[in-house]
Amino acid sequence: MIQVFSKRQDKPHSYGYGEIDAPVFDPIEFAISPNGTDWTSCFDMPDMDGVYCTRAPDVQPAVMTDNLKKVGLQDGSRLLSTSYSTRELKMETYFDGIDEGDAMLAYDALQRFLISREAYWICFANWPQRMYYVRAKLAAPTFTNEKSWTCEVTFTDLIGLSRSVGTTQDTVYGFGNNLKQKPQYAFSTSKFTVYNGSNVLIDPERRGHPFKMTLNGSSNGNLKITNKTTGDFVHGTSDLKFNGSFVIDGVNPKLNGEGCLLDLTKDDNVITLQIGDNDFEVENFTGTVSFDFAEWWLS
């Protein structure tokens, strides 16, 4: 399982009996990652000792952009397509140190942790299975006295959706998943159902969503994989015979690690996943089928 947050056993928490140095609130841990796999927690940064998140971003509204077209003299416009736009997430931070120099160094450490030329993923412990692809902007610190300050951090969510930490092959479960039971993503029968817990259609071609379908086994040709819910299918020719692995990685087919686009028919050969249940049928194949994709949510 992906380790997002600190392994410390002594994480900062609201003070108890005799803990005079502890904050009066429970700080919210946050962590950042360049790739969504390797994470660094704010609680593991010695220079940020005492820098606490007092409020993580609230549930954010999705922002949609419509692509419209005017048609002749008809009233109104026609909707051609929609996409989710960037949005802002806000975090409140607090520090109470020893003296003015300590407060200045703490702000500098926070800035070095969050400010980057490159975008990165961020995850908050109060919603630990979701991450956002962001760039950060820090406001100037507001000093309440010479050794204490508050600071608002504004993140630009570049995708406009939150993404699952991990994929269906390495899922991080948590608050807000709305799952009654753990879904299955590996199958050995010719007919099965794949659950997409996202709030959007998984579309590797038009939306660029990571998606991988792996068939380990054998086929004597004319392989066909159909998502009966969406009508999508992948259809191999009679030459697509194998004993090994056939993979659809996004929109790219691979046979035992080598590209095999010419071994497919000239149909679309792209698989999408509708929100919720997707009923599949696999023909002319014996073996196992597995699905690996990230989930996306509006909030």
DSSP for 36-62, please give it: SSS-EEGGG-GGGTT-EEEEPPPPPPP
Give the tens place of pLDDT for each residue, 108-131.
999 999 999 999 999 999 998 899
Residue in 59, 50, 34 with CA at minimum distance from that of residue 99: 50
State which amino acid sits at residue 250.
G
Question: What confidence category does residue 21 fall into, taking pLDDT thresholds of 50, 70 and 90?
Answer: low
Token pair 């299955």 is at which residue?
Answer: 184
User: Which pLDDT does position 165 carry in this prediction?
Assistant: 92
**191-232 confidence digits (pLDDT tens):** 999 999 999 999 999 999 999 999 999 999 999 999 999 999
- 135-153 confidence digits (pLDDT tens): 999 999 999 999 999 999 9
CA distance 162 to 122: 10
Whole-model pTM: value is 0.91
Round the CA-based radius of gyration of the chain to a whole number and report it: 24
Reference 253, options 243, 265, 169; nearest CA is 265
Q: Where are the domains positioned within the chain?
A: 30-164, 186-297
Distance (Å, whole) CA 29 – CA 52 = 8
Mean pLDDT of 78-105: 94
The CATH number of the structural domain formed by 186-297 is 2.60.120.860
| Long-range contacts, stretch 35-40, CB < 8 angstroms, 24+ apart | 35/121, 36/121, 36/131, 36/163, 36/165, 37/2, 39/2, 39/3, 39/4, 39/5, 39/123
Distance CA 41, CA 6 (A): 6
The pair of structure tokens assigned to 287 is 């073996």
Q: With the C-alpha atoms ordered 94, 100, 105, 107, is the resulting torsion angle positive or negative?
A: positive
Per-residue burial over 48-80, b if 16 or more Cβ lie within 10 Å, else e, is bebbbbeebbeebeeeeeeeeeeeeeeeeeeee
pLDDT of res. 269: 79
Count other C-beta atoms under 10 Å from residue 102's C-beta.
Answer: 16
Residue 299: partners with Cβ closer than 8 Å, 6 or more residues away? 59, 60, 62, 130, 162, 176
CATH topology of domain 30-164: Elongation Factor Tu (Ef-tu); domain 3 (2.40.30)
* Token pair for 53: 């998140």
Q: State the Cα–Cα distance between residues 151 and 139, nearest whole angstrom.
A: 6
pLDDT of 177 above 80: no
